[in-house]
């Protein structure tokens, strides 16, 4: 059996480096066209801007307030269940582990309704 080969003449020589560079640029260009831009922290869930500590659960309190972890949030809820709703943000000082600095950090975040 006889094999017939057909060669195409290119008016200029194309090197393997040029072909690879072209394919890489096409790939990168198509990636930029289809990619959605994201910014640092954009996909992270943002804590609520204000929180009602008289109705919020421990996870929500811990996520929304600076310097408050889950254990302090649970202490806030235990205090609330024992003594009733908070009427002023300064009452948080009565909760073990929460001081004036923590209250100052979160003054604009706490709502009492």
pTM for the model stands at 0.58
Query: Domain total for the chain?
Result: 1
pLDDT of res. 99: 93
pLDDT > 70 fraction of the chain, expressed in percent and rounded? 73
Instruction: Look at residue 30 and tell me if it is in a domain.
Output: no
pLDDT of res. 56: 94
CA distance 74 to 44: 24
CA distance 84 to 103: 19
Q: What is the CA radius of gyration of the chain?
A: 31
Residue 18: pLDDT band (50, 70, 90) is confident
Instruction: Look at residue 31 and tell me if it is in a domain.
Output: no
**37 pLDDT more than 70:** no
To the nearest whole number, what is the mean pLDDT of the chain? 82
Domain harbouring 106, CATH code: 1.10.150.280
Distance of alpha carbon 28 from the chain centroid: 27
Domain that holds residue 106: 51-111
CA distance 61 to 110: 10
């Amino acid at each position: 059996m006889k094999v017939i080969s057909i060669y195409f003449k290119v008016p200029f020589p194309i090197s393997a480096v040029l072909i690879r560079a072209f394919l890489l640029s096409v790939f990168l260009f198509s990636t930029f066209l289809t990619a959605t831009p994201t910014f640092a922290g954009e996909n992270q869930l943002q804590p609520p801007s204000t929180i009602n500590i008289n109705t919020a659960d421990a996870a929500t309190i811990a996520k929304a307030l600076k310097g408050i972890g889950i254990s302090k949030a649970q202490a806030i809820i235990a205090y609330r269940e024992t003594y009733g709703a908070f009427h002023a943000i300064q009452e948080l000082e009565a909760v073990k582990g929460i001081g004036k600095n923590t209250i100052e950090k979160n003054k604009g975040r706490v709502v009492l309704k």
